[in-house]
Amino acid sequence: MKLLHGGDYFPEQWLTRPETIEEDFKYFKEAKINTVTVGMFAWSILEPEENHFDFTWLDQVFDKAEENGMKVILGTPSGARPNWLASKYPDVLRVNERLEKNRFGGRHNHCFTSVNYRECVRIVNEKLAERYGHRESLLMWHLSNEYSGECHCDQCQSAFRLWMQNKYGTLEAVNQAYWNTFWSHTYSDWSHIHSPNQLGEMAVHALNLDWRRFVTDQTIDFYLHERAAINKYSTDIPVTTNFMADTEHLIPFQALDYSKFSKIVDIVTWDCYPAWHNDWETEADLALKVGFINDLYRGLKEMPFLIMESSPSFVNWHDINRPKRPGMHKLASTQLLAHGSDSVLYFQMRASKGSSEKFHGSVIGHVPPERNRVYQEVASLGERMSQLDGLVGSMKQSDIAIYYDWENDWAIKDIQGFSKTNLNYHHTLHDHYRPFWRQDVNVDVITKNNDFDGYKLLVMPMMYLHSRDLLAKVQTYVEAGGTVVYTYMSGMANETDLVYDGGTIPGLEDMLGIVISETDVYYPSQRNQVKFQDASYEVHDYATVFETTSAETLAIYGADFYQGQAAVSVNHYGKGQAYFMGARTGDDFLSKFYGELLDQLTIVGNSVAKSSDSVSVQTREDSEGTRYYFVMNFSDQVQTAEVPQGLIDVSTGLPVEATLTLQGFEAMVLTSK
């Protein structure tokens, strides 16, 4: 098995210039490219008219790949429908949330419910599977591209109502779950139920949650429809699709619940596009966010994942599209491998001459490879990856898990309480991840899919939407000897966003050994303090006012009407312990708190010492016990790091000193073999 190096290739753009395709494969070979992904945007070339197919060019791509010892990831083209299809079957186009019918255009502009669209997709997918399902070079099926978006057409409204009927059974159950007597929003007929939209209902929080759940389920159903067509002729090739991240902070993609979606893909793949060298954070701060989301997507199936897309340099859709500095591409790609990827794949292999992505970064750009710095850096990375085949399938060993939940995320955004500007669920997750990142301690970011067994520490920040099943799972974990950390704004609402009687889910306060009375909220300039041991630490945004029952007080508030009351506590519960962090604090307190907890739980990091927190040391370990150390300098300054003695530099095959010196943006890969 090899690490995959390559990416999205669109030879259909160059069919009138076959010499370009010949040239591409020459450059691919020189850069140690071993995989190409083709077909996702080629529907109008594959099927220029309905039921008239032309696979000649795609046959030739497979032939060229096999001649050069390369693998092919074959995409299905449902992510970009042809014009003739939308003209003949206008129902395939979406209706937006303003209830306006879209015209043909763009890319994600298709209704997942449309019977006509599903039938056209079935036909083309079956044709592809029948023709290419047994090709020697076929490595994987890539269904569609970046599934996303929603449709509010009549077909989708009918499907949503059926989904609601299957979930709740009766309108009475819906009205109770939604608390619809408020504002006289009671449903008296199933036809009253409509998707949240700007012209109608957006204030019923449970409806908003259920619509997000429906959109996820409908997208999954469409994926399964595509997969069934492929599996008619191809059953032994892995099938997947590419997940995404959101915003410049690389938060989990908000439109779909990937914890559900990941159950029906054979391997998680995702598209990673950090805004390196921006002006609002350091490279190390951004690297932390990249690390967090990679740890989340690795955890979805508890196995290595694939980076399906990344840019060799810049993108074309950030506000500012800055090229990577020299060395940054190898560093950023090494980080992806360090956190569990078995690939570095790109969008795109050759730059398009026209349209919206002509200035997106590419392996072969508009400037010829011979004088193209980006291509040379891709080739250098290809050389490194060719030395790391033993990494394939290896995992990260983690004693710590941070819990993330998509539905909780949606509910917090819709909360209409506490603060409009400082909810910051994702920032809070990053804040609790940072102390471990800085100490080079491996972390798994987990979801409701994962078991808690085997973790010494479970961190659950801001679990506002909290089911009884989840609480029972946490209680079992703690009773058996686990350690859990809860924070402010946790356990307040059930799965339909109804506040629990008493303000907190029954059983949580008992496990924590506290009684919560209220949450104080600060304006941006207001501060409090917590006094922990012999120091004071700043509090901002939120402070939970609570009393201890069986818990021990670890820190107290320094001011306001709850001065002297508990701010942080720990309760012994069964064989384990449950911490409650009532206040939102800065990094100084979190580093102190978690540093002591790591010592108490005997959890150690991957490095002994380093000159700066801009250095990250991550590890992966294979089934035979060989450990790979990834030592990465996320700064433009020379840094040092200490690692265990006896390690070998993969690039040179030579032993290294215990103290490493890294140049700016340098990454080293060491092995214990």
CATH number of the domain enclosing 581:
3.40.50.880
Instruction: Dig out the tokens for 541 from the structure.
Output: 């945004």
Is the same domain home to 410 and 456? yes
Residue 539 sits in the same domain as residue 660: no
Residue 79 DSSP code: G
Residue 499's pLDDT is 98
Going by C-alpha positions, the residue among 20, 267, 16, 246 that lies closest to residue 141 is 267
Angle at 70 between CA 324 and CA 40, to 5 degrees: 70
pTM: 0.97
Q: Are residues 549 and 581 in the same domain?
A: yes
Report the pLDDT value the prediction gives residue 623, as an integer from 0 to 100.
Answer: 86
Same domain for 595 and 632? Answer: no
For residue 640, what are the domain limits?
615-671
156 annotated as ligand-binding = yes
* Residue 608, domain member (yes or no): no
Residue 272 labeled ligand binder: no
**What confidence score (pLDDT) does residue 370 get?**
95
What is the residue type of 650?
V
Using DSSP, state whether 14 is helix, strand or coil: helix
- In the block, tokens 């502009």 appear at 109
Report pLDDT for 405: 99
For residue 475, tell me if it sits in a domain: yes
Could you tell me if 461 and 529 lie in one domain?
yes
Q: 12, 47, 126, 146: which one is catalytic?
A: 146
Consult the annotation and say whether 116 binds a ligand. Answer: no
Rg (the chain; Cα; Å): 26
**209 located within any domain:** no
Co-location of 586 and 640 in the same domain: no
Q: In Å, what is the CA distance from 462 to each residue of 102, 271, 489?
A: 38, 27, 5
Are 574 and 487 in a shared domain?
A: yes
Q: Nearest-CA neighbor of 20 among 382, 371, 308, 369?
A: 369
Q: How far apart are CA 451 and CA 446, in angstroms?
A: 9
Active-site pick, 309, 407, 495, 509: 309
Instruction: Identify whether residues 485 and 550 lie together within a single domain.
Output: yes
Q: Is 578 exposed, middle or buried (0-12, 13-18, 19+ CB in 10 A)?
A: buried
Same domain, 518 and 667: no
**Which phi-psi region, left, alpha or beta, contains residue 339 (left: φ > 0; alpha: ψ -120 to 50)?**
alpha
CB atoms within 10 A of CB 616: 26
592 and 633 co-located in one domain: no
Sequential DSSP letters for 95-132: B-TT-PBPPS-SSS---SS-HHHHHHHHHHHHHHHHHH
Last residue of a domain, one of 600, 634, 661: 600
Q: Is residue 127 part of a domain?
A: no
Distances (CA, A) of 68 to 24, 25, 61, 72, 229: 12, 8, 11, 11, 29
Question: What residue ranges of the chain have pLDDT lower than 70?
Answer: none
The pLDDT of residue 1: 84
The reply, when asked if residue 151 is annotated as ligand binding, is yes
* 153 annotated as ligand-binding: yes
Q: Is 431 a member of any domain? A: yes
Distance CA 504, CA 580 (A): 13
What's the structural domain count of the chain?
2
Residue 548 within any structural domain of the chain: yes
Q: How far apart are the first and last CA of the chain?
A: 18
Report pLDDT for 607: 81
- Bridge partners (DSSP) of residue 395 are 621
CATH of residue 622's domain is: 2.60.40.1180
User: Is residue 571 marked as binding?
Assistant: no
Q: Please tell me the predicted confidence (pLDDT) of residue 444.
A: 98
Q: Does 521 lie in the same domain as 624?
A: no
Whether 421 maps to a domain, the answer reads yes
119 is an active site residue: no
* Catalytic residue status for 126: no
Residue 639, number of CB atoms within 10 A of its CB: 21
Asked whether the CA dihedral 159, 162, 168, 171 is positive or negative, the reply is positive
Of 93, 102, 94, 38, the residue nearest 65 (C-alpha): 38
**Is the residue at 327 inside a domain?**
no
Do residues 455 and 539 both lie within one domain?
A: yes
Tokens of 351: 């730059």
